[in-house]
């Protein structure tokens, strides 16, 4: 049985940990509010942009002639893996890593064996998880969440678009956590390039005869790259909100577990203290009886 001092030190240590987890939960809750506001504002814009591309491409063959819609033989694959830069958020990052490995094994196993599957981690933890398992990594975009804005997503998007246009990659996919609520994140896998009709939304017939200025082809050529960059930015926002929700949940559970552990340690401490007092009383009584004999 542990001594009273050891149990007392453990109680102090767990109390300190509980204070830290409480503080981290509060910080994550504050950040989650801002992150959810950002993604809620982004979703309608992203949806409307997809509808615009669908409307214009449905009226012309310009969309099919765009280089970013070209379907070619798959020789090289790029997978964007969106994770966080920090841990302490439960299985948030591990689930993305497992989903990425499952995607590669199911769709691109032969290409992976040949070294033609590249992973671009958007977040430190994704690179660490997949790098330890021998996957080929591209530039590791870390610290993007310290100043998360469209400028960062635009630079990543331009890198991806240039790689596809120069035929370094024939398919580009992205894996990320979509935010549903504080306790639930949904893992999504989407194909960014070549742009598919399913990614541009459903074409709705319209009785309005639009006049396009500039031409429909120019509009398509302008909107498709913007749509890819916006999809990457949306994935980053979704992941950012999901990360704070996952960390808030994890810290809440850790705080509860610390409370349960403190109760158990206090019970152990009281039992040990009571046993020590009982032993001292028995020693005193035994000594008194020996003197009176």
| Angstrom distance (rounded) from CA 78 to CA 173 | 6
* Phi, psi for 71 (deg, rounded to 5): -95, 120
Helix (H) or strand (E) holding 232: helix 216-292
Query: 24, 39, 80, 89: which one is catalytic?
Result: 89
Beta bridge partners of 288: none
Q: Which helix (H) or strand (E) holds 167?
A: none
* Residue reference for tokens 């504002």: 41
Q: Of 187, 186, 259, whose CA–CA distance to 25 is shortest?
A: 259
Helix segments in 66-149, DSSP class H: 92-107, 109-113, 124-131
- Catalytic residue list contains 241: no
* DSSP annotation of 213: S
Start-to-end Cα distance in the chain: 35
Is residue 194 packed enough to be buried (19+ CB in 10 Å), middle (13-18) or exposed (0-12)? middle
Active site residues: 89
């Amino acid at each position: 049985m542990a001594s009273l001092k050891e149990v007392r030190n453990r109680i102090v240590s767990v109390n300190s940990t509980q204070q830290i987890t409480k503080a981290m939960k509060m910080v994550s809750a504050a950040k989650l509010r801002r992150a959810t506001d950002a993604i809620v504002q982004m979703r309608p814009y992203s949806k409307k942009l997809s509808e615009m591309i669908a409307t214009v491409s449905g009226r012309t063959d310009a969309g099919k002639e765009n280089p970013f819609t070209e379907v070619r033989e798959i020789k090289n694959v790029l997978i964007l893996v969106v994770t966080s830069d920090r841990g302490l958020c439960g299985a948030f990052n591990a689930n993305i890593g497992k989903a990425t490995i499952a995607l590669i094994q199911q769709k691109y196993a032969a290409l992976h064996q040949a070294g033609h599957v590249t992973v671009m981690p958007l977040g430190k933890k994704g690179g660490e998880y997949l790098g330890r398992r021998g996957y080929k990594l591209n530039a590791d975009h870390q610290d993007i969440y310290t100043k998360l804005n469209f400028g960062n997503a635009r630079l990543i998007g331009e890198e991806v678009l240039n790689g596809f246009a120069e035929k370094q990659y024939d398919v580009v996919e992205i894996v990320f956590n979509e935010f549903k609520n504080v306790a639930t994140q949904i893992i999504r896998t989407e194909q960014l390039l070549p742009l598919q009709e399913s990614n541009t939304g459903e074409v709705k017939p319209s009785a309005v005869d639009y006049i396009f200025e500039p031409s429909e082809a120019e509009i398509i050529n302008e909107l498709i790259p913007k749509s890819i960059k916006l999809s990457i930015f949306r994935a980053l926002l979704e992941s950012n909100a999901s990360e704070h929700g996952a960390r808030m949940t994890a810290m809440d559970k850790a705080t509860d577990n610390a409370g349960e552990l403190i109760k158990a340690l206090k019970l152990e401490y009281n039992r040990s203290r009571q046993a020590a007092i009982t032993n001292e009383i028995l020693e005193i009584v035994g000594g008194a009886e020996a003197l009176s004999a």
